[in-house]
Amino acid sequence: FDPASITWSCDAVGSGAGSFVDAEFDETSGVTTLDGASAVATGADPDGGAGPLGEYVYVASVLDSSLTVFERDPLSQLLPEVASVDSSTVAGLGGARDVVVTADGRYVYVAGQSSDSIVAFEVVDGGGGTLQLNLIATENATTGTPSLTQPVALALSPGEDNVYVAAANSSA
């Protein structure tokens, strides 16, 4: 049992104390991309409620070099896995260390620490109400950002027109 893999919720009424809802573990229930889970972010409905997509939880995994997406069931609060990408299909995800999602849920950014990269995805309806992550860009020293060595943390600017990066080996 890994306490870091537990999902908690906050009761809307009463004391506001956290209550256990669901847990997802690596190598169980078909989920194989949570080894070394290093960051979690939530995303709003990327189609603004106009389509079949819902709200999501995104998990970056430094050891599996992956981004795994779970859909939050609004009734049960359970988190079934709906998508996953890793460094075997997206080179910049090596050592996925951090993840941020825009407020509208349409864009996801991942820091790939061991690949010295930032990867940008667009979240779209893949048909039939399934979520799809479309790779937009991978930024690294090879693509023109020489000081991007071991990115470990990301933040979006208030207007979400900039992604800020803390890069451990660049002292930046």
Residue with the larger pLDDT of the pair 128 and 59: 59
Cβ-contact 24, 32 below 8 angstroms: no
Place of tokens 């079949």: 52
pLDDT digits (tens, 9 = 90+) for 107-117: 999 999 999 99
pLDDT of residue 48: 74
DSSP-derived 3-state class of residue 13: coil
Confidence grade of residue 89 (pLDDT, cut at 50, 70, 90)? very high
Q: In the structure, how many helices (H) and strands (E) does the chain have?
A: 0, 12
Length, in residues, of the chain? 172
Residue type, 151: P
The pTM of this model reads 0.80
DSSP-derived 3-state class of residue 131: strand
Cβ-contact 94, 117 below 8 angstroms: yes
Confidence grade of residue 79 (pLDDT, cut at 50, 70, 90)? confident
Q: Rounded mean pLDDT of 131-156?
A: 85
Whether pLDDT at 166 is above 60 = yes
The first and second tokens of residue 41, run together, are 């972010």
